[in-house]
């Protein structure tokens, strides 16, 4: 409902109430005035009848003539007017009331209203019968009543307009004050619809309901803005991911296509050249396959897809991964985790292969970026939280600059871009580690400084808290 319509309804209701009250007031005033005139007429009639019984007709006529405030009519029993005296000044009397003789005879003992004639006022008339059979009618003009009622109506009308003006101003200010919070909410919504996502509704009222509505709206807008920002960020990540994946796939595809064209063109004339070309094609195909496998792994982690979770002893899984990596790279200086106090089992709910891949990626990252460095792996319960197991992989290699540490878990990010094209590093190993940790409900962080080595710390929630020693 608009503000104008609300005011129109309020004013309409007030006007109707006031008009009804005015009608009741005017009607009541008119009835009181007429009742007073009726009382005066009855008194005058009683006095005239009394004088007629005590004195002569001539004396009665003199008395009646002196009552110039009333119209006096006397008729005989045949309806002939014997005497008539009009109300008002003698030189300028009021017009005669519309009062035929037949009506006087028929209304004996009654008091009633008749119309005036020649534009004169209405009259209030009472009729009595004299002892000699004649009829006496006394009529009081209602011009004073009409004047009084007109003045009253005019006063009420002026009062109505004045009251409407005052109340209109009051209601307008109250309505503006009441609707201001709602208008602020509307302005906020319109601003957001226009693209101003930082716009928020202000809490400028003590009204509890409006305050709750404002708070709820702002909370909804905050969540909406966060959702939109997350959606935009996700879309940007997807676009960047697709661009990076396309870039990574382009190199092996180009290599395979180039060697295939050489082979088909007959450029290889001996077995050694053919073998070299096929070897390069096979190598690039394997590299492309590993890239696709890494992309599939990230996709499964993003969508929480994977095999059924099992209880995995982290210390055993990490020790197995360290042994496997040492067997594949015997020259790497690698120290595995201890058995732990009392042989405690630190179990998590996870895919056993995921723990193996997490460790393989961390150790592979250390081997690529800190060649020849000593790597130490440890597994232990968190000192601050007994329901968390901590895996640390530390090396005494060259370390990383702060700007590298900030981006180390971004997909396709590679700190050493000069070696990337010729190595098997796609910049997906550490993002996969982060994805695996998050899928288990854990986290990973890194501490590194140039020349001080690097320490990767993985925290995973335990399936059950470890049993107390002793």
pLDDT for res 154: 93
For residue 26, pLDDT beyond 70: yes
Give me Rg for the CA atoms of the chain: 55
- The class level of CATH for 3-148 reads alpha beta
For residue 458, pLDDT beyond 90: yes
Domain boundaries, the chain: 3-148, 202-305, 307-461
112-142 b/e with 16+ CB inside 10 Å = b?
Answer: eebebeeebbbbbbbbbebeeebbbbbbbbb
Residue 334's DSSP bridge partners are: 375
Q: What is the pTM of this model?
A: 0.47
CA–CA distances in Å: residue 103 to residues 52, 98, 305 = 23, 10, 109
Q: Which tens digit of pLDDT belongs to each residue from 95-137? A: 889 889 888 899 998 999 999 888 888 999 999 988 888 898 9
**Average of per-residue pLDDT values in the chain:** 81
Contact assessment for residue 79 and residue 101, using Cβ atoms and an 8 Å cutoff:
yes
pLDDT for res 59: 52
Element (H, E) at 310: strand 310-313
CA dihedral 458, 462, 465, 466 (to 10 degrees): -60
* Right CATH for 202-305 from 1.20.150.20, 1.10.287.130, 3.30.70.260, 1.10.357.10: 1.10.287.130
What three-state secondary structure class fits 377? strand
Give domain 307-461's CATH architecture: 2-Layer Sandwich (3.30)
pLDDT for res 111: 92
Q: Which tens digit of pLDDT belongs to each residue from 390-432? A: 999 999 989 888 888 888 888 777 766 444 444 456 678 888 8
Q: Which residue pairs, CB below 8 angstroms and at least 24 apart, start in 193-197?
A: 197/221, 197/224, 197/225, 197/228
Q: Which tens digit of pLDDT belongs to each residue from 43-80? A: 888 887 776 655 555 555 555 555 567 888 888 888 88
Please give the structure tokens belonging to residue 371. Answer: 């060649």
pLDDT for res 66: 55
- Per-residue pLDDT averaged across 453-462, rounded? 92
């Amino acid at each position: 409902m608009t503000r104008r319509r609300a005011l129109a309804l309020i004013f309409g209701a007030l006007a109707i109430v006031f008009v009804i009250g005015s009608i009741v007031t005017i009607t009541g005033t008119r009835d009181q005035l007429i009742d007073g005139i009726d009382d005066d007429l009855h008194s005058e009639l009683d006095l005239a009848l009394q004088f007629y019984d005590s004195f002569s007709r001539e004396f009665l006529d003199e008395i009646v003539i002196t009552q110039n405030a009333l119209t006096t009519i006397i008729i005989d029993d045949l309806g002939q007017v014997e005497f008539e005296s009009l109300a008002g000044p003698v030189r300028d009397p009021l017009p005669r009331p519309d009062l035929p003789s037949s009506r006087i005879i028929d209304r004996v003992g009654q008091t009633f209203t008749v119309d005036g004639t020649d534009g004169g006022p209405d009259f209030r008339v009472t009729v009595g019968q004299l002892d000699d059979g004649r009829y006496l009618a006394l009529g009081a003009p209602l011009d004073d009543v009409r004047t009084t009622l007109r003045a009253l109506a005019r006063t009420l009308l002026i009062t109505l307009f004045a009251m409407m003006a005052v109340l209109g101003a009051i209601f307008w200010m109250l309505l503006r004050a009441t609707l201001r919070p709602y208008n602020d909410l509307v302005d906020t919504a319109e601003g957001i619809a226009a693209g101003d996502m930082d716009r928020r509704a202000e809490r400028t009222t003590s009204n509890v309901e409006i305050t709750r509505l404002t708070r709820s709206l702002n909370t909804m807008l905050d969540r909406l803005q966060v959702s939109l920002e997350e959606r935009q960020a996700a879309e940007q990540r997807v676009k960047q991911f697709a661009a990076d994946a396309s870039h990574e796939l382009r190199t092996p595809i180009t290599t395979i296509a180039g060697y295939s064209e050489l082979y088909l063109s007959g450029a290889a004339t001996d077995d050694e050249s053919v073998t070299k070309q096929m070897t390069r094609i096979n190598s690039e195909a394997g590299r492309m396959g590993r890239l696709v496998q890494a992309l599939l792994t990230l996709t499964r982690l993003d969508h929480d897809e994977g095999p059924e979770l099992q209880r995995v002893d982290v210390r055993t899984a990490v020790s197995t991964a360290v042994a496997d990596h040492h067997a594949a790279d015997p020259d790497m200086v690698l120290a595995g985790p201890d058995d732990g106090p009392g042989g405690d089992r630190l179990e998590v709910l996870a895919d056993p292969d995921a723990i193996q891949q997490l460790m393989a990626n961390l150790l592979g990252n250390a081997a690529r970026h800190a060649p020849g460095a000593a790597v130490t792996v440890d597994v232990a319960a968190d000192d601050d939280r007994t329901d968390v197991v901590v895996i640390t992989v530390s090396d005494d290699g060259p370390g990383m600059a702060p700007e590298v540490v900030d981006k180390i878990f971004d997909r396709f990010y590679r700190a050493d871009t000069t070696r990337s094209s010729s190595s098997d590093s796609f910049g997906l190993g550490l993002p996969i580690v982060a994805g695996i940790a998050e899928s288990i409900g854990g986290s990973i962080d890194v501490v590194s400084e140039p020349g001080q080595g690097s320490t990767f710390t993985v925290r995973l929630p335990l399936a059950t808290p470890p049993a107390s020693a002793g």
